[in-house]
């Protein structure tokens, strides 16, 4: 493994293609060019950021197919940029834990309800405060915090890692219909608990049904605008009704899996003579024993994340039942979809008119499969895959649907959120002594958080305007607008 940093130009070139596409031409050791999806407004913050170098770094990896891609919520990450997408040939390509991230299968799940927002909002209503309180009580948050009543023994945790969300449903957390609206049915094949270290297993034993910390959240929202009636109807989204967005992943178990394999992959990179522009891109040939073992462990961690969001779904239903005096919230709260943000998956894509199996890394990016794709649930075959794009806790989130342009340009991928513009340290400094919880309450948003520091780090100003991010992918033809969701209650890690 040699140092290739000396062969880079002093400043990377970024060239406009059109209003929402920017080329990073082949420079230095790049094997292919980079493509950044960004509006003119967004590229102002992106083009001089180190994340552009990370896009170029990804383009140097062996066996990369097509371009090294970046979504408009692009920002700096570990190895790959957050918002990065890259596909690799199964014979000559590599797999990199940095292209997946520490929080394996960090993702989002959207729940739809038949409950009208006006039944819980208003100055005289106590229902919203009660609902926020019940959600906070039933879904643990914060660094290292796990479930109070769900601790997995050796056999149950194997079942979680092998079966994902289906294990949770069979254990009483949800209903079978939930599984019909999850990416991959809520379980990735080829998961192997034996590829997961004992340390990782120990870290995950009590963390099912918990949010964690940082940007993870549970958010009650109002569907306040419908852009596509047909797609919204297919998803069960009704104007003026409540929805719930759950954002979390594989917790300490997934973090440990990544950490374990980074050490192994760094040695593997040297062993296989792979030149790295950044040690954080350490990798191994996809067919190698090291890569295959990582894939089995990664799939197991991904299944833990699916199960985690499934348990939280059950607890959200419990919270609604208690707070709103419902007989059973299961009948009025259903799953719209659940998507992975941090994952590497073996998929088939058309390259120069020929179907090829590729290993697609999505790091802070989500699938956006177009109408008619065989992997979509029957309910979404006509409209395209639901693409869930959270914003910040003070403005709005969006629901999109995948379009043919994503299959043609981005390996069926799209943005996954707003993307940070301020580091956590910078956000805390900007927040100063502001009472952000009081400010958000003044906007009609109830906030529950593990600490005021968390709220400061996740303040709305720390993020790009997700409307600009969404407008970019829509203008690029990767997705279409379906609905806008406005937050009214937020539980933060």
Question: What's the pLDDT band for 5 if we cut at 50, 70, 90?
Answer: low
3 pLDDT higher than 70: no
- Report which of 375, 371, 442, 447 is spatially closest to residue 403, judged by C-alpha positions: 371
> What is the pLDDT, as a whole number, of residue 4?
57
Q: How far apart are CA 5 and CA 163, in angstroms?
A: 43
Beta carbons of 21 and 46 less than 8 angstroms apart: no
Q: Note the Cα 12 to chain centre separation in Å.
A: 28
Pairing between strand 94-95 and 284-285? antiparallel
> What is the pLDDT, as a whole number, of residue 215?
87
Q: How far apart are CA 292 and CA 90, in angstroms?
A: 11
124 pLDDT higher than 70: no
pLDDT in tens, 18-49: 999 999 999 999 999 999 999 999 999 898 88
Residues 181, 263, 416, 425: which is the catalytic one?
416
User: pTM of the entire structure?
Assistant: 0.95
* Residue 416 known to be catalytic: yes
- Report which of 468, 374, 463 is spatially closest to residue 412, judged by C-alpha positions: 374
Judged by average pLDDT, the poorest of 49-53, 280-284, 382-386 is: 49-53
Domains along the chain with CATH numbers? 5-492 (3.90.1860.10)
Q: How far apart are CA 344 and CA 363, in angstroms?
A: 8
127-138 and 289-323 helices cross at what angle (nearest 10)?
Answer: 140
pLDDT in tens, 76-119: 999 999 999 999 999 999 999 999 999 999 999 999 999 999 98
pLDDT in tens, 57-72: 999 999 999 999 999 9
- Over range 177-196, report the average pLDDT: 97
């Amino acid at each position: 493994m040699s140092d290739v940093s000396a062969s880079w130009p002093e400043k990377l070139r970024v060239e406009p293609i059109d209003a929402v596409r920017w080329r990073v031409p082949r420079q230095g050791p790049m094997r292919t060019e980079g493509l950044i999806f960004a509006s003119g407004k967004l590229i102002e913050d992106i083009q001089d950021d180190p994340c552009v170098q990370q896009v170029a770094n990804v383009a140097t990896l062996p066996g990369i197919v097509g371009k090294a891609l970046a979504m408009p919520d692009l920002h700096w990450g570990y190895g790959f940029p957050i918002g990065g997408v890259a596909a690799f040939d199964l014979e000559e390509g590599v797999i990199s834990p940095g292209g997946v991230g520490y929080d394996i299968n960090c993702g989002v799940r959207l729940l739809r309800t038949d409950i009208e927002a006006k039944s819980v909002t208003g100055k005289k209503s106590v229902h919203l405060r009660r609902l926020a309180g019940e959600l906070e009580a039933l879904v643990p948050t914060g660094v290292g915090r796990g479930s109070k009543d769900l601790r997995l023994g050796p056999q149950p945790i194997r079942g979680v890692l092998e079966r994902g969300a289906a294990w949770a449903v069979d254990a009483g957390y949800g209903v079978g219909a939930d599984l019909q609206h999850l990416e991959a049915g809520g379980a990735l094949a080829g998961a192997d608990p034996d590829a997961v270290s004992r340390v990782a297993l120990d870290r995950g034993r009590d963390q099912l049904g918990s949010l964690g910390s940082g940007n993870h959240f549970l958010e009650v929202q109002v569907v306040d605008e419908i852009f596509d009636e047909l797609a919204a109807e297919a998803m069960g989204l009704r104007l003026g009704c409540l929805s719930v967005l759950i954002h979390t992943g594989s917790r300490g178990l997934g973090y440990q899996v990544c950490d374990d394999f980074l050490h192994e992959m760094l040695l593997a990179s040297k062993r296989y003579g792979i030149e790295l522009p950044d040690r954080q891109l350490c990798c191994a040939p996809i067919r190698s024993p090291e890569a295959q073992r990582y894939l089995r462990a990664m799939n197991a961690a991904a299944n833990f994340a699916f199960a985690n969001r499934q348990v939280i779904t059950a607890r959200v239903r419990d919270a609604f039942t208690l707070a709103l005096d419902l007989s059973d919230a299961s009948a009025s709260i259903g799953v719209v979809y659940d998507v992975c943000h941090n994952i590497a998956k073996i998929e088939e894509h058309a390259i120069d008119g020929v179907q090829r199996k590729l290993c697609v890394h999505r790091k802070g990016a989500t699938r956006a499969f177009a109408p008619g794709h065989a992997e979509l649930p029957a309910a979404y075959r006509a409209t395209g895959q639901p693409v869930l794009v959270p914003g910040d806790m003070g403005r709005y989130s969006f629901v999109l649907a995948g379009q043919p342009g994503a299959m043609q340009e981005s390996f069926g991928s799209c943005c996954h959120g707003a993307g940070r513009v301020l580091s956590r340290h910078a956000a805390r400094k900007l927040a100063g002594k502001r009472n952000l919880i009081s400010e958000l309450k003044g906007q009609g948003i109830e906030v529950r958080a593990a600490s005021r520091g968390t709220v400061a780090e996740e303040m709305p100003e720390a993020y790009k305007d997700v409307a600009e991010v969404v407008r970019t992918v829509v203008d690029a033809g990767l997705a279409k607008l379906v609905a806008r969701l406005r937050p009214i209650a937020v539980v933060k890690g």
